[in-house]
Chains A and B, each alone.
Chain A
């Protein structure tokens, strides 16, 4: 579990979270008190009834009837208050979770992309799902349990003291035993659980890797070696697992033992006091039933306590994400331009992800509307980074990119992005129908328009061969279609509404050559009159570009068209002739 510092403000913010529900919480607490009171009062009534049963022919039925009437009232109070209390708690918990998840999700779309990249997707996902869950379990439901538990203990003590001081004192003396047992076990359990969780993490990682990479394992015939290692890891996990499981399962027997000890003590002392006539049989029965349930709340509280700590840690992690700075944006009101011509000027642009590792250094060039710019260079030369900056997923450290003489830092992102279309290196599709995926950027597009776009992208024919055509549902990450088909869909998505500036980021790298020919043709019509940046390995695309930016080590080292660069016999020439 990563970071998330718990401090005073964490508690204040947790309180703020619940604040809108305070009236409900108060009502819930009142109901809890009624519930505790009525459950404790019922044994008293039973005791009184028993006291009325002195012997044959001596039972006072009028008294019994009265007692039973009160008993009926208590049943109703207890059942009702219990139901209302649970309902309110659930409602408050579920509503808080709901609101919290909404703010967390909205936050995802408010922070800069760099925040998501640096935190890691898994981490954010955990905060949004598991941490929120833990918060609601440990904090909201735990709170009501602790409250009920503490109230029960206190009220039981008060009831006991009022009924008979001597027996009450006996129970109070035995209380620390119960507390001691509970804390001893929970400490032990905690240590072993931690160890178990640690080993479980290792085991899971091992499983993950080898199941995902099972094809490689098989190709190298290393099934036996892998299995032996798994067996060792499994064994050490199971050992820790047994200890954790056993220690945690001693909680019940041990507290039951303490309980029974209290019960026996009350029985003996009650018996002696009974003979001396200082206590009635009914009172004794009432005491015994208290003794029977006395340690239960201790148990629950100690159980909830660990959860409570987890919940506070979780909420700290939630708040940490909510506190991330939102991305800066240009002023939408004052920015008049809706669409651009497509003239792009890059001036003194510098950028790095890591301060110690310079990536883009002082880049300057300018392109006119309708130019096609090919960006080439070895892997890791900063091509993708350049795109990140143009789309303003990241902010430059120095300098800026200007579109039609407007600094991109000043252009509201919604307008900027409306004017730039892209097909990214990693294809991304939604878990939705093919139709909805293609019209992702234009939800109002008709089926005809979508089909038209798909035809242009040469996606139509494969879509028609899918089980349900355009209505086919794509699985998560588009796992039910091939990589090439995924890219075709991404291209079709762009075809539907072609903006003045295009970014084609290795879009065709896993589409087969024959399809690619058709796509290249389609792209040429698409790019006509539009400023296009193309990151590509393929020569055919590069050759036709108006400007080629040759990048190496994060900087542009050569610039010009194909013939110029070839004649220069520099790095570009080297790149292309190396075969």
Chain B
């Protein structure tokens, strides 16, 4: 919470102006009933046209100053809220793109997106409303009461009863309904995810002939949602009649007492009018105040979620680190020395005491079962995660002593999940190197076997790519990702199971193309033995341990697991 208040600091001045002018406007409003009482008691009763003229002009003047004050207030409130939201959004976005993998995993990408969009909007709304109303409404409520006392103490006593009574009724119902509204939202979420599930799984639902059951389940969820909504609506519908009753009963008492006081000559009818008017003002302001509470409540919940993220420290820091580019060439480019890693919140080590060395220019294949640690090795190399024990070295230097950006610049990485951005092919490729020439880009396109389909679409590097690469097939997306990595021209290329959607022929051409690149250390992670058979050495992983690390031929002799994999996939080369 305090974390967020910092973002308001630059707008301190505007944050004071807005409520100040709001109160100024309210002040004028509070005097209006008295001036009207003047028209009644002095003007009409004493038949004095001058007083009517004077008081009338005052009213018009109040109208105009009120408008000016409130426009100023609205503008500054909006300005503060928007600027505040803009800077929080910037801070949050920066935080997210600098998050470690660990933190991304912890929050989940959809939750991160909700926070930076919805939650910020809620907080912005909260800030805006608070600046406009938080001071104004109580000011009017108590101001109207004080004004009433200045009119007549005995008649005004009823206000002392009215305000707490109204306040209790209003806040009671608000407190009851807030959790109910949350419940409605939750059941709407359930409903939404049910529909989404049925849309994505429509083929399976039909394949298993389960349409009737899905309909029934949806109907249950839908009924639950309707019933919750109805129940909540019924409770909140009580609010209005209750306030009507409270205020009007007080009005009734006021009129009765007023009539007694008028009868004894302690009150004039103009004053009765003013009192009645103050009472209506209080009602209007209290209703606004309730809505404000609901907004504030939502804003607080959102602010908490945002604060959570801002409070999250990134595990990795760059202090005192050196640039990987400066390192001299060495015998080993990558080495694991007793490297141990366990995922957060997991007791068992995922990788324990792993040791190996990769020499510059080597092509290394990594093969092994699901969960054997193939992708984890890639993540550790680029410090998406940090080892929990032992060391990983790049050119004989512990990677923790290198700057993060220079370390990552040493790798061209093709992730398992092909991730593209909307824009053109060129823009996607240039992500890897903004200064790359068209020639370099086209070269990467050729090497990665994209050329064929890029030519087919006839727009060359300007070929549009839709959000999530929706206009490309799975295999095409993978190839564009490979092209992107090749554009980067880093000393080490990692292909993380990234040709799985390619057919044999394309996959093979791709690997041949990559082989032509000089001085490139290549790490190919794969499920298919064909993809790695030709590697200089192959690492066989089994449950986080290295079961073998040698050439294809030698592994066939020495490594039982490798042999098993080979036999199961063996192509017949007659």
Give CA–CA (A187, B371) in the complex, Å.
59
A90 touches B568 (CB 8 A): no
A379 touches B408 (CB 8 A): no
Give CA–CA (A254, B204) in the complex, Å.
57
Residues A539 and B571 in contact in the complex (CB < 8 Å), given A98-B223, A284-B40, A513-B369: yes
Residue on A nearest B265 in the bound complex, by CB = A56
B434 touches A55 (CB 8 A): no
Residue from A71, A205, A221, A538 within 8 A of B248 (CB atoms)? A71
Residue on A nearest B561 in the bound complex, by CB = A514
Complex interface: chain A residues within 8 A of B527 (CB) = 510, 512-513
The B-contacting residues of A in range 428-469, CB under 8 angstroms, are: 428, 430-431, 440-441, 443
A218 touches B59 (CB 8 A): no
- Output the least CB separation between B457 and chain A (Å): 13
Q: Mark A289-317, 1 if CB is under 8 A from B, else 0.
A: 10010000000000000000000000000
Residues A56 and B503 in contact in the complex (CB < 8 Å), given A264-B63, A393-B203: no
Band of interface residues on B? 35 or more
B56 touches A271 (CB 8 A): yes
Residue on A nearest B238 in the bound complex, by CB = A83
B256 touches A263 (CB 8 A): no
Residue on A nearest B258 in the bound complex, by CB = A53
Give CA–CA (A440, B211) in the complex, Å.
11
Give CA–CA (A109, B214) in the complex, Å.
9
A221 touches B97 (CB 8 A): no
Q: Assess whether A420 is interfacial by the CB under 8 Å rule.
A: yes
Give CA–CA (A64, B263) in the complex, Å.
12
Q: Assess whether A364 is interfacial by the CB under 8 Å rule.
A: no
A59 touches B52 (CB 8 A): no
A53 touches B218 (CB 8 A): no
Complex interface: chain B residues within 8 A of A514 (CB) = 369, 561, 564-565
Give CA–CA (A252, B504) in the complex, Å.
68
A430 touches B201 (CB 8 A): yes
Interface stretch of the complex, out of B225-233, B325-333, B349-357, B388-396: B225-233
Interface stretch of the complex, out of B68-76, B140-148, B440-448, B551-559: B68-76
Give CA–CA (A59, B261) in the complex, Å.
10
A129 touches B188 (CB 8 A): yes
Q: Assess whether B252 is interfacial by the CB under 8 Å rule.
A: yes
Q: Assess whether B89 is interfacial by the CB under 8 Å rule.
A: yes
Q: Assess whether A3 is interfacial by the CB under 8 Å rule.
A: no
Q: Assess whether B85 is interfacial by the CB under 8 Å rule.
A: yes
The A-contacting residues of B in range 196-219, CB under 8 angstroms, are: 196-211, 213-215, 218-219
Residue on A nearest B85 in the bound complex, by CB = A238
Residue on A nearest B104 in the bound complex, by CB = A214
Q: Assess whether A578 is interfacial by the CB under 8 Å rule.
A: yes
Give CA–CA (A537, B113) in the complex, Å.
37
Interface stretch of the complex, out of B171-179, B291-299, B411-419: B411-419
- Output the least CB separation between A372 and chain B (Å): 18
Complex interface: chain B residues within 8 A of A46 (CB) = 251, 255, 276
Q: Mark A62-94, 1 if CB is under 8 A from B, else 0.
A: 001000100110110011101100110011001
Most chain B CB inside 10 Å of its own CB: which residue of A253, A263, A422: A253
Interface of B is mostly: helix
Q: Assess whether A226 is interfacial by the CB under 8 Å rule.
A: yes
Give CA–CA (A380, B225) in the complex, Å.
43
Residue from A225, A256, A420 within 8 A of B434 (CB atoms)? A225
Residue from A113, A226, A246, A271 within 8 A of B39 (CB atoms)? A271
A257 touches B67 (CB 8 A): yes
Residue on A nearest B84 in the bound complex, by CB = A238
- Output the least CB separation between B100 and chain A (Å): 9
Residue from B64, B198, B276 within 8 A of A105 (CB atoms)? B198
Complex interface: chain A residues within 8 A of B47 (CB) = 275
Residue on B nearest A426 in the bound complex, by CB = B200
Complex interface: chain A residues within 8 A of B55 (CB) = 267, 271
B193 touches A476 (CB 8 A): yes
B369 touches A391 (CB 8 A): no
B82 touches A241 (CB 8 A): yes
Complex interface: chain A residues within 8 A of B206 (CB) = 109, 113, 391, 393, 413, 417
Most chain A CB inside 10 Å of its own CB: which residue of B229, B382, B473: B229
Complex interface: chain B residues within 8 A of A95 (CB) = 226
A209 touches B421 (CB 8 A): yes
Complex interface: chain A residues within 8 A of B424 (CB) = none
Q: Assess whether B241 is interfacial by the CB under 8 Å rule.
A: yes
Q: Assess whether A191 is interfacial by the CB under 8 Å rule.
A: no
Q: Assess whether B109 is interfacial by the CB under 8 Å rule.
A: yes
Q: Assess whether B370 is interfacial by the CB under 8 Å rule.
A: yes
Give CA–CA (A413, B155) in the complex, Å.
80
A90 touches B237 (CB 8 A): yes
Q: Assess whether B432 is interfacial by the CB under 8 Å rule.
A: yes
- Output the least CB separation between B349 and chain A (Å): 17
Interface stretch of the complex, out of B266-274, B300-308, B358-366: B266-274
Q: Assess whether B96 is interfacial by the CB under 8 Å rule.
A: yes
Residues A274 and B78 in contact in the complex (CB < 8 Å), given A205-B422, A234-B86, A253-B71: no
Complex interface: chain B residues within 8 A of A511 (CB) = 370
B415 touches A97 (CB 8 A): no
Complex interface: chain A residues within 8 A of B53 (CB) = 268
- Output the least CB separation between B17 and chain A (Å): 14
- Output the least CB separation between B431 and chain A (Å): 5
Give CA–CA (A263, B52) in the complex, Å.
14
Q: Assess whether B167 is interfacial by the CB under 8 Å rule.
A: no
Give CA–CA (A214, B96) in the complex, Å.
8
- Output the least CB separation between A279 and chain B (Å): 9
Q: Assess whether A121 is interfacial by the CB under 8 Å rule.
A: yes
Q: Assess whether B19 is interfacial by the CB under 8 Å rule.
A: no
Q: Mark A200-237, 1 if CB is under 8 A from B, else 0.
A: 00001101111111111111111101110011001100
Q: Assess whether A124 is interfacial by the CB under 8 Å rule.
A: yes
- Output the least CB separation between B425 and chain A (Å): 15
Complex interface: chain A residues within 8 A of B420 (CB) = 213
A272 touches B104 (CB 8 A): no
Complex interface: chain B residues within 8 A of A510 (CB) = 370, 500, 527
Interface stretch of the complex, out of A158-166, A515-523, A525-533: A515-523
Q: Assess whether B471 is interfacial by the CB under 8 Å rule.
A: no
B202 touches A108 (CB 8 A): yes
A256 touches B70 (CB 8 A): yes
Give CA–CA (A418, B206) in the complex, Å.
9
Q: Assess whether A116 is interfacial by the CB under 8 Å rule.
A: yes
Q: Assess whether B570 is interfacial by the CB under 8 Å rule.
A: yes
B568 touches A517 (CB 8 A): yes
Residues A53 and B431 in contact in the complex (CB < 8 Å), given A207-B117, A211-B112: no
Residue from B203, B258, B432, B530 within 8 A of A424 (CB atoms)? B203
Give CA–CA (A90, B235) in the complex, Å.
11
Q: Assess whether B31 is interfacial by the CB under 8 Å rule.
A: no
B97 touches A80 (CB 8 A): no
Give CA–CA (A574, B509) in the complex, Å.
13
- Output the least CB separation between B535 and chain A (Å): 13
B207 touches A391 (CB 8 A): yes
7 closest residue pairs by CB, A with B: A56-B265, A512-B369, A274-B44, A268-B56, A264-B59, A79-B241, A271-B52
A-B contact pairs, 11 of them (CB 8 A): A42-B248, A64-B255, A75-B245, A94-B233, A102-B219, A204-B117, A209-B422, A256-B70, A275-B48, A440-B204, A512-B527
Additional A-B contacts beyond A241-B85, A260-B62, A272-B52 (5; CB < 8 A) = A55-B265, A95-B226, A125-B199, A379-B474, A517-B564
